[in-house]
């Protein structure tokens, strides 16, 4: 196990009855709030009205940044920074899924820098302080509610890149599983795939001695496999929504990758898909992961993939390691396709061969020449994986 | 799943090379340190000299509180409070296992109250602020390095009771697995039993929907079962010591009991044993747990205990649920006895029938009349469990 530092001071307020704590938590940090959200769903569900009433009852001044995109665009961060500066706001409340929270993190850091927020994403500028952020999570998926990173899209340059800073970790996050009752089938499934992908990106490593971390990862995967189909079948099953929500936070808050190097692979490939096509992130991850595992299956990785099948999908262990590993990959594919009803090919989501070469080149380039994950993937490897997804 | 708040801001510095950060971490909070430790082991291993050199190199003033007992006594807290006050100390560095850290927490809170520290333990007084605490962990067991509670013994009144306050959560903890290389067989085994007991106290609950938490608990139990025997066999196996150390923190830092009620049972019974006999806590827990499970085995609990056997010990599932549950209990007993070389009866550790009745009465009394765990245990139940341990 490698040396590491683990420090996740985000306060999680979980459950049906936590909004009563919202004003008190905000007032620890500020009283002039940027209320950031996406489309109109929080207005339809009544959450918006509830928040505004809490603000009014508690003399909390606020300005709104609405319309944050599902793959949040840097232009929205520019708008957000302007609103913060014009109104001297001192706190950001992000109400939404990963996209709203990610964008809020970028705004929180960019406010204190004299640059375009995109300069932070491309590492030209560095966040050195940030406005405090609180979140009210509405979608179980990215884990942004309990980590310090984000992913921002620049449609102009066709880039979707991640950034992070310890200063942008949320101070608190309110997680009410009931809020996710209205998440539709597609986004519920995509969210489960996203949680599982984060977990698997941390899980698939070789010989690093991080045994406990991998047993915990298996626990999170089993939770997704158990409750994903229940949430699709019965969107108002509280325990299903609650377990998926809590799993989303732990898949990526840092615990699973303590003590190991986890250079992610599938996310780097997926970011090109959603940068080019505005594809739902989790769907792209689900399509790519089984093909990625098939591509990297070799003498070095066969035990790792086989153990995954045995420990997570309860596949029967046989004398043929490669057969077992293929059964594991098949089980994952079938779970996404049959149980989570995810379209499991690029063709089905409207992506053809046209940009595959360019996307493979970009994926390699954005990773610094090649994706150096558990198995190194150069441009040709990535292209093969994309083609296997058609 | 029940509503909950999870907030664990302790910064964990884990690994071989973290002492370089000690002075910097302390100086965020203070520069006049109470250096708290137990017997002479930190002097024998060189850790004491290393710390003192860091203090001197960084102009950190310090006073020592040494000789803290394995079951830490309230008298040591009285001494500690005096030293802090006399020297106007503003930080406590606890170097040791759970006993040293637990006692440091009591001192940290008692300094600001005009009472005997024991009044805090018996809930006559309440901690409202505390000195900041840092820890250097030397034994993987109690998890005190990442939680806010402690257990204090009063030999005069024959009481061993727990207390806790959010103010006494360590600000940082340095976890170097190499430090535990010198922990002997008995205390390594007792530590593993302690970690497993914390996990099981959180795990054995009924129908609460906290599915993920129980899958994570199983991951921690598997980690202990895998690495416990390796650490006994080869005390300098880094990955074994590292996994056990990291497991100790997560067994009891609050994650495993999020969303569920976990009124502990075995600890309440064990505390009487070590209050009366100064028994090593983990040994008492190991002896009690299989007998506790046998005692509570009934129609309501059989599935819970059977699942434990299947998921943690890989026992074969048969058509006879009770047979499977008994096999699970047997597997746990055999693991402690055969793999961890723990004496598995009270007789072997020098405890006879003499005080069993009195201890059973006290255990019930200290729990408020009966132990209301997953199955309620009155005085007679407790006495039966004690007798089964002879």
Cα separations in angstroms, B269 against B156, B191, B282, B287, B383 = 19, 18, 12, 11, 10
Say whether B259 and A246 touch across the interface (CB within 8 A).
Answer: yes
State the pairing for strand pair B61-65/A32-37: unpaired
Best mutation target, A12, A176, A215, A260, to test chain B (most B CBs within 10 A): A215
Min mean pLDDT across A296-300, A339-343, A366-370 is at A366-370
Q: Which of the four pLDDT bands, split at 50, 70 and 90, describes residue A89?
A: very high
Reduced 3-state DSSP string for B65-114: ECCCCCCCEHHHHHHHHHHHHHHCCCEEEEEECHHHHHHHHHHHHHCCCC
In the block, tokens 């505005």 appear at A278
Q: According to the model, what pLDDT value does residue B111 have?
A: 98
Q: According to the model, what pLDDT value does residue B274 have?
A: 86
User: With contacts defined as CB-CB under 8 Å, which chain A residues touch B220?
Assistant: 212, 215-216
Mean local confidence (pLDDT), B268-296: 94
- pLDDT tens per residue, range A118-157: 999 999 999 999 999 999 999 999 999 999 999 999 989 8
> At the top level of CATH, which class does the domain A11-179 belong to?
alpha beta
Contact indicator for A117, A165 with CB cutoff of 8 Å = no
Mean local confidence (pLDDT), B129-153: 97
List B residues 238-267 in contact with A (Cβ-Cβ < 8 A).
Answer: 238-239, 242-243, 246-247, 250, 255, 258-259
- pLDDT tens per residue, range A164-210: 999 999 999 999 999 999 999 999 999 999 999 999 999 999 989 99
Mean local confidence (pLDDT), A227-254: 98
Torsion of CA B301, B304, B310, B311, to 10 degrees: -160
Mean local confidence (pLDDT), B44-51: 96
Strand partners, A377: A371
Q: What is the CATH number of domain B183-388?
A: 1.20.1090.10
CA distance B216 to chain A (A): 5
Contact indicator for B235, B186 with CB cutoff of 8 Å = no
* Minimal-distance CA residue of chain A relative to B244: A212
Q: According to the model, what pLDDT value does residue B124 have?
A: 97
Cα separations in angstroms, A331 against A134, A189, A339, A377, B120 = 38, 16, 11, 24, 55
Q: According to the model, what pLDDT value does residue B239 have?
A: 98
**Homologous superfamily, domain A185-388:** Dehydroquinate synthase-like - alpha domain (1.20.1090.10)
**Token digits of residue A355:** 């940009």
For CATH 1.20.1090.10, the residue range(s) in chain A are 185-388
- State the complex-level ipTM: 0.96
Mean local confidence (pLDDT), B237-243: 98
pLDDT at B275 over 90: no
Q: According to the model, what pLDDT value does residue B158 have?
A: 83
Mean local confidence (pLDDT), B259-284: 91
CB nearest A15 (choices: B3, B222, B238): B3
pLDDT at A159 over 90: no
- pLDDT tens per residue, range B66-110: 999 988 999 999 999 999 999 999 999 999 999 999 999 999 999
List A residues 23-82 in contact with B (Cβ-Cβ < 8 A).
Answer: none
pLDDT at A40 over 90: no
For CATH 3.40.50.1970, the residue range(s) in chain B are 11-179
Say whether B211 and A243 touch across the interface (CB within 8 A).
Answer: yes
CB contact A218 to B (< 8 Å): yes
Q: According to the model, what pLDDT value does residue B40 have?
A: 83
DSSP letter string, A283-295: HHHHHHHHHHHHH
For CATH 1.20.1090.10, the residue range(s) in chain B are 183-388
Q: Which of the four pLDDT bands, split at 50, 70 and 90, describes residue A275?
A: confident
Cα separations in angstroms, B102 against A14, B51, B172, B190 = 28, 20, 14, 17
Task: Tell me if residue B260 falls in helix, strand or coil.
Answer: coil
């Amino acid at each position: 196990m490698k040396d590491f530092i683990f420090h996740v001071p985000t306060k999680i307020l979980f459950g049906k009855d936590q909004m009563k704590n919202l004003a008190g938590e905000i007032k620890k940090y500020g009283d002039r709030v940027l209320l950031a959200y996406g489309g109109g769903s929080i207005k339809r569900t009544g959450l918006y009205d509830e928040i505004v009433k809490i603000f009014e009852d508690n003399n909390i001044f606020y300005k709104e940044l609405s319309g944050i995109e599902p793959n949040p665009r840097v232009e929205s961060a520019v708008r957000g920074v302007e609103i913060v500066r014009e109104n001297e706001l001192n706190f950001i409340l992000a109400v939404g899924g990963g996209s709203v929270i990610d964008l809020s993190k970028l705004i929180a850091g960019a406010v204190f820098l004299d640059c375009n927020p995109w300069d932070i994403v491309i590492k030209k500028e560095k966040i050195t302080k940030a406005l405090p952020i609180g979140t009210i999570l509405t979608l179980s998926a990215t884990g942004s509610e309990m980590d310090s990173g984000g992913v921002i899209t620049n449609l102009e340059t066709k880039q979707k890149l991640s950034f992070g800073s310890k200063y942008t970790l949320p101070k608190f996050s309110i997680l009410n599983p009931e809020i996710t009752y209205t998440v539709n089938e597609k986004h519920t499934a995509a969210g489960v795939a996203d949680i599982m992908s984060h977990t698997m990106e941390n899980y698939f490593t070789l010989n690093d001695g991080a045994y406990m971390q991998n047993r915990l990862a298996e626990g999170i995967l089993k939770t997704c496999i158990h409750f994903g189909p229940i949430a699709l079948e019965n969107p108002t099953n509280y325990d299903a929504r609650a377990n998926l929500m809590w799993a989303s936070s732990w898949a990526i808050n840092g615990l699973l990758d303590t003590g190991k190097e986890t250079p992610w692979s599938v996310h780097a490939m997926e970011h090109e898909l959603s940068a080019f096509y505005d594809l739902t992130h989790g769907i792209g991850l689900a399509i790519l992961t089984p093909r990625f595992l098939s591509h990297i299956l070799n003498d070095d990785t066969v035990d790792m993939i086989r153990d995954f099948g045995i420990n997570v999908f309860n596949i029967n262990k046989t004398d043929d390691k490669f057969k077992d590993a293929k059964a594991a990959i098949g089980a994952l594919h079938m779970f996404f396709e049959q149980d989570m009803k995810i379209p499991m090919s690029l063709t089905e989501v409207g992506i053809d061969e046209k940009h595959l070469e360019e996307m493979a080149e970009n994926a390699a380039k954005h990773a610094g020449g090649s994706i150096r994950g558990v198995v190194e993937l150069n441009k040709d490897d990535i292209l093969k994986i994309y083609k296997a997804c058609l």
